[in-house]
A and B are shown apart, each in its own frame.
Chain A
Amino acid sequence: MSGPSTRSVLEPSPWSQRLAALLVIVYALITMIPLVWIVLTGLKTPPDAIAYPPKVFFEPSLEGYVNLFTARSRQAPEYMASLPPPTSWYDELVRKRNMVITGPSRFAERYLNSVIIGFGSTFLAVFLGTIAAYGFSRFKVPLKDDLLFFILSTRMMPPIAVAVPIFLMYRVLGLSDTHLGMILLYTMVNVSLAVWLLKGFIDEIPMEYEEAALVDGYSRMQAFWKVVLPQAKTGIAATAIFCLIFAWNEYAFALLLTSGEAQTAPPFIPIIIGEGGLDWPAVGAGTTLFLLPIVFFTVLLRKHLLRGITFGAVRK
């Protein structure tokens, strides 16, 4: 290098920038491997899925997805021969393994449960969190700091630590294996996160906007709806994603408290049984489908998420 540097002292050197980029790429690759493997497994046939050494290149098949959505039974070759020709591609796929489709599996139901419980609890947590955060941010609340600390303290132990009391409580209250029970449970866990995150966002909205609305003839409630909420919406979106990720992925309580009616996808997917043990392509397919909504929302809101994580790091 010759001549004076044109680079600002605050700017990292090109070499350290390249090094940083390399590290990020390596890290991304390592963390992506399991995800890629899940997606690939979903597209394999059962023999390919358990082949050793593992197959990276294979002929893709939709068998995993068919198995995920259907219940099948094995039939004698004579019976198979007596059947009329298959009417659809999935019929054909199943018959190759000497099986017939007997009906839909319970996957769709479980998935729907996940949607109801995940989105329901997210909505409730964000709704309560927004109202509480607004109150804490704007009003003189007696014991405000203690209350906020108490709310935060509910996150200081893993929720599963109270699994037994909750299990017993839910049995007595009749909340076991109900949608309402699971929604309330996840709301309870998420609401503290929601209050703290949203309080940070609402604190950043100057009070003058509401005061302007108040003198412009609006009530406090109208000012909240028309002036505060529209400005808090990025914060609300970020908070919602965090809540949704937790509620969507939660496994332990779902396993413990649900079995039939309200079972969500996480405890269901890993136990999809095929012939001779777990049906790995179906598990892979189920997991892939399960990941999609979260990936979708996260990519959609990634800018706000970053702000959600780093908010308050630089105080104005």
Chain B
Amino acid sequence: MSEIRLENLHKAFDDFVAVRDANLTIAEGQFFVLLGPSGCGKTTTLRMIAGLEIPTSGRILLAGEDVTNRRAAARDIAFVFQLFALYPHMNVRRNLAFPLISQGVPRAEIRTRVAEVARLLRIEHLLALPVRGLTGGDRQRVALGRAIIRRPKAFLMDEPLGALDAEFRELMCEELRLLHDRVGATTVYVTHDQVEAMAMADVIAVMNQGEVLQAGPPSEVYNRPATLFVADFIGSPAMNLLPAMGPLAPGADHARVSGAEIAIPRLRDGLAHEEAVLGARPEHITLSDNGLLRGHVFGVEYTGVRQIVVVDTPAGRVRVRSPNTVRVSAGETVGLEFSKDALMLFDRRSERALRSEQVQGAGNG
């Protein structure tokens, strides 16, 4: 179990840059999630850590040791593949034992460790079966078992829940996290599903187009997105991003959104040009007659206890999360009130968040 550090990691396939200058530190025992849309470089990053791809430049440190050019077999890392990659010509027991056989572990010990892992994952009854007939969840458990049996320095998982039914995914999410807490291994987990990421991660790193945009605990990534992309990618529905007028001086505490002066946390950064963006999570907006920004209700989506009210304003469509005790109907004119401390301001051109008294640094790992 150990720390993983990526230093200026870069990977290009011919002209295509898959990973651009990534710097990340994954602390020992951490559950670290690489989150991003498909093609953002998260899987390539994971494969470089595993030794399945060799970086174009940069370094990978595993427990302080430079393993950049070391082959996969010598890194002592376990990898769980998206489709599990259970060896189809072996039964469950042999699949579990396979990593130990390569290390020359004595037979008796292999037997006890297989039994141990099978008990931990509750797959004892499957040991003698061929892997072909197993259900998705059982395959998942066998794949995890094959990873933990070796007690490797770290676990790498490439969308391991992607192949499961939605219903089952939730259950496995919980199990995975429990397993991680019990084994305590450093885990790097790749997914495009922000719900999965939020549910499991200690730290989330959001990637897009080969770049790591932000790394931080789920709450930080959710509440204080470092870039417009992160703001838009995380949260369902996403953060409302409304065009605001610049320029803004350092110390400004209001932003103008289509004529309405909205109170914001006091800015520490200024913005020289006109294109600012105000970011507000749907739960940080309330429907209120005192609201300065007004609009018409376009529609209401019920989500149980809460509802999402979609409001068309001069600044664009805004989604508001409100208790479903609030009765509104389509076409009604409503005012929107923003919770000042939760608001974010972004620079449209650089796409980065502006620092304010609420937002310390642009948390780029």
Measured CB to CB, the residues of A under 8 A from B are 206, 208-209, 211-219, 222, 227, 230-231
Contacts and interface: CB of A to CB of B under 8 A. Distances in A.
B52 A214 contact: yes
Interface in B212-261: none
Given A215-B73, A217-B73, A208 B89 contact: no
B50 A215 contact: yes
Contacts, number: 58
A214 B87 contact: no
Interface residues of B, number: 24
Contact of A231 (B51, B89, B102): B89
B77 A215 contact: yes
A211 to B, nearest CB: 5
B354 interface: no
A216 B83 contact: no
Which 10 interchain pairs have the tightest Cβ spacing? A217-B102, A208-B85, A216-B99, A212-B85, A214-B72, A230-B89, A215-B79, A217-B73, A208-B81, A215-B72
Given A208-B81, A222-B102, A215 B52 contact: yes
Nearest to B72: A214
B146 interface: yes
Contact of B83 (A208, A218, A219): A208
Nearest to B149: A216
A212 B81 contact: yes
Nearest to A222: B102
26 contacts: A206-B83, A206-B85, A208-B81, A208-B82, A208-B85, A209-B87, A211-B52, A211-B72, A211-B85, A212-B87, A212-B146, A213-B87, A214-B71, A214-B72, A214-B73, A215-B50, A215-B51, A215-B75, A215-B77, A216-B102, A217-B102, A217-B103, A218-B102, A219-B73, A222-B102, A231-B89
Given A211-B79, A211-B81, A217-B76, 19 more contacts: A206-B83, A208-B81, A208-B83, A209-B87, A209-B88, A212-B85, A212-B146, A213-B87, A214-B71, A214-B72, A215-B50, A215-B73, A215-B77, A216-B78, A216-B102, A216-B146, A217-B103, A219-B71, A219-B73
Contacts of B89: 230-231
A215 B73 CA distance: 5
A169 to B, nearest CB: 43
B298 interface: no
A312 to B, nearest CB: 20
Contacts of A213: 87, 98
A216 B98 contact: yes
Nearest to A230: B89
A214 B85 CA distance: 12
B57 to A, nearest CB: 19
Contacts of B87: 209, 212-213, 227
Contacts of A218: 73, 102
B78 A215 contact: yes
- Name B's interface SS: loop
B74 to A, nearest CB: 8
Contacts of A227: 87
Contacts of A230: 89
Contacts of A209: 85, 87-88
Contacts of A219: 71, 73
Given A208-B81, A209-B87, A214 B51 contact: yes
A236 B88 CA distance: 17
A231 B87 CA distance: 9
Nearest to A218: B102
Contacts of A214: 51-52, 71-73
Contacts of B50: 211, 215
Contacts of B102: 216-218, 222
A217 B85 contact: no
B72 to A, nearest CB: 4
Nearest to B152: A215
User: Which of B76, B85, B102, B103 has most A Cβ within 10 Å?
Assistant: B85
Interface string B57-85: 00000000000000111011111011101
A213 B50 CA distance: 12
A206 B85 CA distance: 8
User: Which of B72, B87, B99 has most A Cβ within 10 Å?
Assistant: B72
A213 B98 CA distance: 8
A206 B83 CA distance: 10
Nearest to A233: B89
A316 B281 CA distance: 43
Contacts of A208: 81-83, 85
Contacts of B98: 213, 216
Contacts of B99: 216-217
Contacts of B81: 208, 211-212
Nearest to A211: B52
Contacts of B88: 209, 231
B71 to A, nearest CB: 7
A231 B85 CA distance: 13
Interface string B100-129: 001100000000000000000000000000
A76 to B, nearest CB: 68
A212 B50 CA distance: 10
A209 B90 CA distance: 12
Nearest to B77: A215
A222 B104 CA distance: 14
A113 B51 CA distance: 50
A208 B143 CA distance: 12
A222 to B, nearest CB: 7
Contacts of A206: 83, 85
A168 to B, nearest CB: 47
B220 to A, nearest CB: 31
A222 B101 CA distance: 12
A287 B314 CA distance: 92
User: Which of A211, A213, A216 has most B Cβ within 10 Å?
Assistant: A216
Contacts of B82: 208
